[in-house]
């Protein structure tokens, strides 16, 4: 992190820069910027060996202009109250930007999951859920967590089970969290959603004439040299989608180190090598880099930081050689580094847009849980029959018969996975078009444009409710 600048303050710097362009009343802007409430809890954990350890955890609800609030829960040793407040604020702006009807929230537990047994992590998760329930900080209409760094569908299943046992509204209890296993009310496509959204967002930027003019790149993803820092859920899926579109993955970084090969990597092969050896290092044909951070300084077209916040700082921003920095993580570029990169004409695709795929598909899961109907269940077969009747009419008019295989593809109805992917793609396309229009209107950068859009939408929500006459 840049010296003496807390994460929440860095987020507010972006907010302030955009707020000056909105013309909204100062008092309203101050209300939007503030974090409404933060809950800090400390509780005991009995370790497997009998020792007692005190666990610290937080839940921040930044804005309740729309309910429920929404945001992940991360498990990591570096978490703090300032971090959850910053991430909750970013969730407010992210949800507003992509028209997901939530306020922003975030949670964190200060543990390293790798240092705890599965039974210990389960006890931590269930106790934290109990604490949230007791203070009314969780519920389908109150605050809906999701997976984040260090958590996944396993932790979400423990949360929903604990919440259901404590809730008086068991019918809708599955909507208390998203990112659940399918068997507990999850949705197809959620695991890959953030990475798929990263792909859609980069694709849209590389279709935007103004962005292409700034980056001096040709349209399209194919052939672009891409470096990805972080191969967790977001980074690994981003790598797969980018490679499938023809990008050349020339650099990959994880906590154990980084590798480089101008010919490009097969992400599946790298992940298989890591599963077998415990490291991405020493991948056949690759060059090991001296540090993980060295990957951020590789010459490339697109740099995708997909790990944690504060990876590109005032100290190393001058050594970044990418044309585009695509923020798959939350806050990977500090406020000072952001200004340095813009001054050097590096194009930044902002986090509150680019990693919004996760919360978008979480919204679809929440709607599914509350409606108790799987997407596609009511109309998939009807759509297929309608398509078949159209194809039969075409065949009669032309006298040509389609082979069974192509006919099945042409007439297939959309199931849950197809509808989720389609909804996510439409969301990312529409949001980028708003950003592009706002950039042109104010002659500003993409991050500031995204914040302007978000602030205006949150402000309208307050004004429409008559809170600020």
Residue 386 tokens, joined: 């309608």
Integer Cα distance of 398 and 409 in angstroms: 19
pTM for this predicted structure: 0.91
pLDDT of residue 427: 97
Integer Cα distance of 433 and 157 in angstroms: 36
Tell the CATH topology of 193-355: Rossmann fold (3.40.50)
pLDDT of residue 54: 98
Integer Cα distance of 32 and 158 in angstroms: 33
What 3-state class would DSSP assign to 35? Answer: coil
Domain-wise residue ranges, the chain? 37-187, 193-355
pLDDT of residue 122: 98
Which residues are part of the catalytic machinery? 106
Determine the angle formed by the axes of helices 446-464 and 416-442, rounding to 10 degrees. Answer: 100
Q: Which CATH architecture has domain 37-187?
A: 3-Layer(aba) Sandwich (3.40)
DSSP H helices, 206-311, are: 209-215, 233-244, 267-277
Same fold, 37-187 and 193-355: yes
Integer Cα distance of 103 and 144 in angstroms: 10
- Which DSSP string do the residues of 74-129 spell out, in sequence order? EE-TT--HHHHHHHHHHHHHHHHHTT---EEEEEEE---GGGS-HHHHHHHHHHHH
- Kindly list the distances between the CA atom of residue 287 and the CA atoms of 225, 251, 267, 269, 426, in Å, as whole numbers in the listed order: 16, 9, 16, 15, 39
Which portions of the chain are predicted below pLDDT 50?
1, 3, 469
Contact 5, 334 (CB under 8 A): yes
């Amino acid at each position: 992190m840049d010296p003496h600048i807390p994460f929440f303050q860095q987020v507010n710097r972006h907010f302030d820069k955009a707020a000056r362009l909105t013309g909204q009343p100062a008092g309203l802007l101050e209300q939007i910027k503030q974090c409404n409430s933060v809950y800090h809890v400390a509780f005991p954990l009995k370790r497997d060996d009998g020792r007692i350890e005190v666990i610290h955890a937080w839940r921040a609800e930044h804005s309740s202009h729309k309910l429920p609030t929404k945001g992940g829960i991360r498990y990591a040793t570096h978490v703090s109250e300032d971090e959850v407040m910053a991430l909750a604020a970013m969730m407010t702006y992210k949800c507003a930007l992509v028209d997901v009807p939530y306020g922003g929230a975030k949670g964190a537990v200060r543990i390293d999951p790798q240092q705890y047994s599965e039974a210990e992590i389960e006890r931590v998760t269930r106790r934290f859920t109990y604490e949230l329930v007791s203070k009314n900080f969780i519920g389908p209409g109150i605050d809906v967590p999701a997976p984040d760094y260090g958590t996944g569908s396993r932790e979400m299943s423990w949360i929903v089970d604990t919440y259901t046992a404590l809730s008086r509204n068991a019918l809708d209890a599955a909507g208390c969290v998203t990112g659940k296993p399918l068997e507990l009310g999850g949705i197809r496509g959620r695991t890959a959603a953030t990475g798929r959204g990263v792909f859609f967002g980069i694709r849209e930027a590389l279709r935007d004439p103004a962005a292409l003019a700034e980056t001096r790149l040709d349209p399209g993803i194919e052939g672009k040299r891409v470096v990805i820092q972080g191969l967790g859920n977001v980074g690994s899926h981003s790598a797969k989608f980018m490679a499938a579109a023809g990008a050349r993955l020339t650099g990959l970084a994880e906590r154990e180190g980084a590798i480089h090969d101008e010919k490009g990597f097969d992400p599946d092969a790298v992940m298989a090598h890591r599963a077998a050896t415990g490291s991405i290092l020493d991948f056949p044909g690759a060059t090991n880099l001296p540090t993980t951070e060295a990957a951020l300084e590789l010459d490339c077209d697109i740099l995708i930081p997909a790990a944690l916040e504060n990876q590109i700082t005032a100290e190393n921003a001058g050594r970044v050689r990418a044309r585009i920095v695509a923020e798959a993580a939350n806050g990977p570029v500090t406020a000072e580094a952001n200004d340095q990169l813009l001054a050097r004409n590096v194009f930044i695709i902002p986090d509150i847009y680019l990693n919004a795929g996760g919360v978008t598909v979480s919204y679809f899961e929440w709607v599914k849980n509350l409606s108790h109907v799987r997407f596609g269940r009511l109309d998939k077969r009807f759509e297929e029959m309608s398509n078949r009747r159209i194809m039969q009419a075409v065949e009669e008019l032309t006298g040509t018969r389609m082979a069974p295989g192509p006919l099945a593809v042409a007439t297939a109805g959309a199931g849950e996975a197809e509808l989720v992917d389609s909804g996510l793609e439409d969301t990312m396309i529409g949001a980028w078009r708003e950003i592009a229009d706002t950039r042109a209107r104010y002659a500003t950068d993409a991050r500031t444009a995204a914040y302007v859009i978000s602030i205006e939408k949150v402000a309208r929500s307050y004004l429409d409710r008559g809170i600020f006459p």
